[in-house]
C-alpha cells in the first residue's frame, strides 16, 4: 500500500510542478492542455496512455476536441502520492508548456 505525500513533500509541489493546480475538494492535482486541433490532442493522449501503462499509474482525464484535462491522484493511497509527482513530471517532459 503506497502512502500519501507527507507535509514536507506537499510543500514542494508548487515549485516542483508549477503548471499543476490543487483540485478543490479532492486530494489531487490537475493540469489543462490546449492543442492546435484534435489530432494533436489525441497524439498527446496516446503518449500519456503508453506512459501510464509503463508506470502502472493511470490518470483521470477528459478530452474535448483540442483540450485535454488530466487529474492525478493515487487510488491505492487515497490521495496524492509520489507516483502522482513522478507521473506529472513525466507528462511535463512530454508537453512542457510555458514555464513562468
* Residues at the site binding ligand H2B, with contacts judged by CB under 6 A: 56-58, 74-76
Q: How far is the CB of 57 from ligand H2B (least distance, A)?
A: 5
From the CB of 4, what's the least distance to ligand H2B, in Å? 11
CB of residue 67 to ligand H2B, shortest distance in Å: 21
Instruction: Characterize the bridge pairing of strands 21-22 and 29-34.
Output: antiparallel
3 versus 75: smaller Cβ distance to ligand H2B: 75
CA atoms within 13 A on the CB side of 87: 28
* Rounded Cα–Cα distance for residues 65 and 33 (Å): 11
Amino acid at each position: 500500500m503506497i502512502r500519501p505525500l507527507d507535509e514536507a513533500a506537499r510543500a514542494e509541489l508548487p515549485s516542483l510542478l508549477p503548471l499543476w493546480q490543487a483540485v478543490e475538494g479532492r486530494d489531487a492535482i490537475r493540469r489543462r492542455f490546449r492543442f492546435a486541433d484534435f489530432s494533436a490532442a489525441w497524439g498527446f493522449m496516446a503518449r500519456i496512455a503508453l506512459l501510464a501503462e509503463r508506470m502502472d499509474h493511470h490518470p483521470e482525464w477528459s478530452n474535448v476536441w483540442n483540450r485535454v484535462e488530466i487529474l492525478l491522484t493515487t487510488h491505492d493511497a487515497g490521495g496524492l502520492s509520489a507516483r502522482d509527482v513522478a507521473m506529472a513530471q513525466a507528462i511535463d517532459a512530454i508537453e512542457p508548456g510555458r514555464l513562468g
